[in-house]
Chain A
C-alpha cells in the first residue's frame, strides 16, 4: 500500500433525508473526511445494485448507501425495497469473496448532521483498514498508453 494512500468512497444519498443530513452537517460546520464523493439519488430504493458494482469496478474503494429511516420514506416504501436489495447484495458480495465492509449501509435523516459525519468517519476508517480495493476493480494501468515517450 502506498504510504499516502487515501480511499475513494462513493456515497449514494437519498435526496430527502441523507442528502439533507449531509447538508446539515455542512452548514453546522461538522467535520468529516473528504474521501467521500456524493451522488444524490431520489430514494434509496432507486439504487440499482448495478450502480454499486459499477462503482467498485471503476476503482472505487468503498460504497456507502444511505437513505431515510424506516417509516420516513418520502415515497412511503422506497427504503424498504432498497433494504431488501441491500441485504441480498451485501450477502452476495461477501459470498463471492469481496471483503465485508466494502459496501456499507446507513439510515440518516435530514436532522442527523452529526450522525452523517459519524457514519462517514466510521466508513472511511473501515475502508482504510481494508486497504485499496484490489479484488474486483479495473486496474487503471489497463488503460495506460504504451507509448515510447
Chain B
C-alpha cells in the first residue's frame, strides 16, 4: 500500500502522533549529537543526522532500566514491579539498519527459550516508521550484512524522502492501521517512479564489499590465531562501540539502594571492560584486550551465527565513526578473509 505525505503536513502529522501515542524520534541534544527520545513538541524532532549517536535499541532496551523496586521492613522484603508500559508507541525516523537490529534483539529477548517481559511489553506496543537512506554514508555497510539503504523488513511503515513529500509504504498490520490517516494522500505514479529511482541510486552506494559471507566458518579456525595478538592493540578499552552498537545487548544487573529502599536495575554492559568477566576471586578469563576484542568480534560473527543463524552486525557504521582511535570493524573483518590477509602481506613487503 503506497501513500504520500506532503512535507508541509509533516508538523501536523507529528502533532497527531503526539496526541495519540507516545512518539519517539531523533532529537538533537547539541549540534551534531542526537538520540531517540520521547517527543512532546513536533519541533523537537531532528531528522538531519542519518543515525543518532545512540541506537534505536535504547527505546526497547534502555541503558538503565529499573526491573523492580524494593523496600526492607525489618526482616521482610517488599518487592513491587515497575509499572507496565500501557500506551501505544510510535517510533519515527529509524533507519533500516537500526530496525534490522531490533529483529536481532528479538532473537535474544523474545527467543524460543526465554521471553523478556520488559522488552516484550515495549516491543508489542510499538509501531516503527522507518526512513529510507537516500544518501548512505561511506561508513555504512548494511549491504554487506544482508540489509540495504532501503531495507524495509521490521518497519511497519516506511517513508521515502522525495524532497517535497514522503512516499509512505504501509508494510504490516500495524502499518495498515494508518491507512485512513488524514494526512496521507494517495500516491501519484510519479512519486512511485521517483522513489524507485532514488532507491536504485542509493543502493549503489551501500558498501557491499565487506567480506561477511562465510565469516562464521573462517572464525571457527581462528580462535587461537595470532590475528588477535595484533588486532586489539590500538583498542583503548572504552565502551563506545558496544554502547553505540544497535545489536550489542549485554547487560549487568545491580541493586541501587538508599537506606532501606532501592531498586534492581539492568544496565548496559560491555565485553570490552575488564570487570565484565572478572570473577570475585580475582580470576579473569579475559584478562587483556586480546581476549576482550576477540569476544566482541567472535560474538558478532561466530557465536551469534552459531546460535541464531545470522551475524549480529547490521553495518550501521557507528563503531567506525565514533571510535577514538579509528578501530575499523570493516578492516578487522577483511583481515580474517584470504583476500585481506593477502593485502596485509602485500603492504608489508
Touching chains A and B, CB distance < 8 Å: yes
The chain A residues found within 8 Å of chain B, CB to CB, are: 58, 138, 140, 142-148
Query: B residues within 8 A CB of A138?
Result: 258
Q: In the assembled complex, which residues on chain B have CB atoms less than 8 Å from the CB atom of A143?
A: 256-259, 261-263
The prevalent SS among residues of A at the interface is loop
B258 and A147 within 8 A (CB): no
Stretch in B78-86, B118-126, B147-155, B290-298 with 4+ CB within 8 Å of A = B78-86
Write out the residue numbers on chain A whose beta carbons fall within 8 Å of the beta carbon of B259. Answer: 143
A3 to chain B, nearest CB (A): 24
15 contacts between A and B (CB under 8 A): A140-B258, A143-B256, A143-B257, A143-B259, A143-B261, A143-B262, A143-B263, A144-B261, A145-B70, A145-B78, A146-B69, A146-B80, A147-B78, A147-B80, A148-B80
How far is it, in angstroms, between the C-alpha of A40 and the C-alpha of B254 when the chains are bound? Answer: 31
**Chain B, residue nearest A144 (CB):** B261
B80 contacts A145, CB within 8 Å? Answer: yes
Residue B191 is within 8 A (CB to CB) of chain A in the complex: no
B71: chain A residues at CB < 8 Å are 145, 147
- B residues 214-267 near A (Cβ < 8 Å) are 256-259, 261-263
Complex contacts, A145 vs chain B, CB 8 Å = 69-71, 78, 80, 261
Chain B residues within an 8 Å CB radius of A146: 69, 80, 82-83
Q: Which bracket fits the contact residues of B?
A: 10 to 19
Contact among B69, B256, B257, B262 with A147 in the assembled complex (CB-CB below 8 Å): B69
CA distance A140 to B71 in the complex (A): 13
How far apart are the CA atoms of A146 and B263 in the complex, in Å?
10
- CB neighbours (8 Å) of B262 from chain A are 143
- Give the chain A neighbours of B263 by CB distance below 8 A: 143
Minimal Cβ-Cβ distance residue in A for B257:
A143
B258 to A, closest residue via Cβ: A143
Expressed in whole angstroms, the minimum distance between the Cβ of A101 and any Cβ of chain B is: 25
Give Cα A143–Cα B258 distance, bound, in whole angstroms.
Answer: 7
Q: Nearest Cβ in chain B — how far from A71, in angstroms?
A: 41
Among B261-286, those with CB < 8 Å from A are: 261-263
Closest chain A residue to B80 by CB distance? A147
- CA A58 to CA B70, docked complex, whole Å: 19
Give Cα A136 to B295, complex, Å: 38
**Chain B residue at smallest Cβ distance from A146:** B69
Which B residues from 50 to 72 make CB contacts under 8 A with A?
69-71
Contact partners of B82 in chain A: CB under 8 A: 146
- From 67 to 104 in chain B, residues with beta carbon under 8 angstroms from any chain A beta carbon are 69-71, 78, 80, 82-83
Closest beta carbon of chain B to A140's beta carbon, Å? 7
Q: A138-B258, A143-B262 are in contact. List 10 more A-B contacts (CB 8 A).
A: A142-B258, A144-B69, A144-B261, A145-B69, A145-B70, A145-B71, A145-B78, A146-B69, A146-B83, A147-B80
Within the complex, the shortest CB–CB distance from A83 to chain B, in Å, comes to 33
- CB-CB under 8 A from A144, the residues of chain B are 69, 261
| B80 CB contacts on chain A under 8 angstroms | 145-148
Min Cβ gap B224→A in Å is 42
CA distance A59 to B152 in the complex (A): 50
Complex CA–CA separation, A145 to B261 (angstroms): 7
A44 to B2, CA, bound (A): 73
A106 to chain B, nearest CB (A): 29
